[in-house]
Structure 1
């Protein structure tokens, strides 16, 4: 499936309802990472029903314990394309008996992509078809590829409009959970922070408490390259792989478990809930500068 206008050419596939290409027709830049497994085998997966890892790779739901995988199962299932128009493509994933072995709820997950000039809007819609309340986290994971093949992280800066500092936490790699007790400050200079390889030596940077509603990857001289607007997202991740020519900007509704969390899913900090028959909706924008 594809969307196209005079500025951008965009592709997406039914497997994972994943965005697979963003091509800037005016500059010739391939905006989205090409999924070369040398660094990372994905482009822009949707993370559902869990963002990141759960504690010890299990989740407790109504007294039962279920196995989980990092970032959930939606990214590894085929969705059904239910609409393919000139301005919008929409996919649907419906719960199955196989899924209910690890996530015991009936749901419908809709993922839509809309192209408007230089902006791609990504929308998630989750309908609760169960008789009880469902709980989940959901997130985006687009990998922004650098404009030129010989560029590195040192050629770019992060830009956070109207911010002078941010606070972030890290993942305890050995334990597989976030450590909210250790908070690090990111001091910004006129909203900018340099991209370096060292920034990701301990995996993703996790920003909680609705700190990020707009962020840009800019060229070193400050020229905007690719931005993201994500109003009302309580959590945000920024991640890359050593020497990889991309950076992931990740808007999250909820995130990985804290180290040591062993409560029921309903007790998890930041969990989303939808009552029987209800609907959850959220969207964010990718902006090509």
Structure 2
């Protein structure tokens, strides 16, 4: 599916309802990672019905064990899609016998994409169609934005992330994909985090207390960049594959299990509980600076 307006063109895949490309119409400049399989073959997977890893890939619900891989299964399923206009598309995934083997809940997951001027908006909707049972879930975004090196005249290290409301980042260290007890503190200068490949050698930067709700990806050589905005996602991750020229900006409603977690789904940190017949929604968006 292709969405287009006078400023932007977005390409979307029915598999995982994944954003695959975001280009500027003026010159075809690509703002999304190219999914080079040498590093990471995805571009913007949706994380559902969990974010991060479960302890032993297992959780318990009503006394029974269930197993899910890291980040859940939605990213690997084909969604039903419908293009509503040149600038808007919607994708839907519903529970099946297959999903219920690992996740015993009725659900409807809807992703809506819309181009508005220089901005792409992505809205997550979770519906609980059950007449009497709650729906426990987590959900998160994982868009990977290209960090252009342009023939090595512009280096990865020439780029930065700017956090207008933070001068320090408190990052929870992962232990075997789980949240450990140690927290690293990264002090920012001028609210900026300079990007280096080494930042992500120990996996993602995972934060529970980030205050900024608008993050700028920019560089020191020109005025090209993006502004990434989100609301009401309590957790945030930043990640890149080792040596790859991209950075993922990841707002989450949910988080990996702690190493000390008891694996009970209803007691999982960040778990969302949606009452029968209710709908839940969150949105993130990315705007081009130039």
Alignment TM-score, normalising by the size of structure 1:
0.95
Deviation track 1:111-167 (CA, whole Å, cap 9, x = no partner) reads 000101111110010111223111111001011012344344212011111322221
Q: Which runs of 5+ in 2 are unaligned?
A: none
Question: Aligned partners of 1:27 and 1:155: how far apart in 2?
Answer: 22
Q: Which runs of 5+ in 1 are unaligned?
A: none
Match of 1:275 in 2: 275
Q: How many residues align?
A: 286
Match of 2:55 in 1: 55
Match of 2:217 in 1: 217
SS at 2:182 equivalent: coil
Question: In the alignment, is the contact (CA less than 8 A) between 2:148 and 2:156 conserved in 1?
Answer: no
Deviation track 1:197-233 (CA, whole Å, cap 9, x = no partner) reads 1111100000113534111111125845122111221
SS at 1:22 equivalent: strand
CA gap 1:232/1:210 in 2 versus in 1, 3 angstroms? farther
Question: Aligned partners of 2:47 and 2:134: how far apart in 1?
Answer: 20
Question: Aligned partners of 2:82 and 2:30: how far apart in 1?
Answer: 27
SS at 1:3 equivalent: strand
Match of 2:135 in 1: 134
Alignment TM-score, normalising by the size of structure 2:
0.94
Deviation track 1:66-110 (CA, whole Å, cap 9, x = no partner) reads 011111000000000134312210010010000000000011100
Match of 1:91 in 2: 91
**Aligned-pair Cα RMSD in Å:** 1.5
Question: Aligned partners of 1:149 and 1:56: how far apart in 2?
Answer: 42
Question: Aligned partners of 1:222 and 1:139: how far apart in 2?
Answer: 31
Asked whether 1:7 is paired with 2:3, we answer no
Match of 2:145 in 1: 144
Match of 1:155 in 2: 158
1:193 Cα deviation after fit? 1.4
SS at 2:99 equivalent: helix
CA gap 1:26/1:148 in 2 versus in 1, 3 angstroms? farther
Question: In the alignment, is the contact (CA less than 8 A) between 2:92 and 2:110 conserved in 1?
Answer: yes
Asked whether 1:172 is paired with 2:175, we answer yes
Question: Aligned partners of 1:81 and 1:274: how far apart in 2?
Answer: 24
Question: Aligned partners of 2:284 and 2:267: how far apart in 1?
Answer: 26
- Which 4+ stretches in 1 moved above 6 angstroms? none
Deviation track 1:14-47 (CA, whole Å, cap 9, x = no partner) reads 1100001001223532111121101101010000
CA gap 1:164/1:209 in 2 versus in 1, 3 angstroms? closer
SS at 1:281 equivalent: strand
1:190 Cα deviation after fit? 1.3
**Deviates most, 109-118 or 162-171:** 162-171
1:183 Cα deviation after fit? 1.4
SS at 2:225 equivalent: strand
Match of 2:254 in 1: 254
SS at 1:92 equivalent: strand
CA gap 1:20/1:67 in 2 versus in 1, 3 angstroms? same
SS at 1:154 equivalent: helix
Question: In the alignment, is the contact (CA less than 8 A) between 2:60 and 2:66 conserved in 1?
Answer: yes
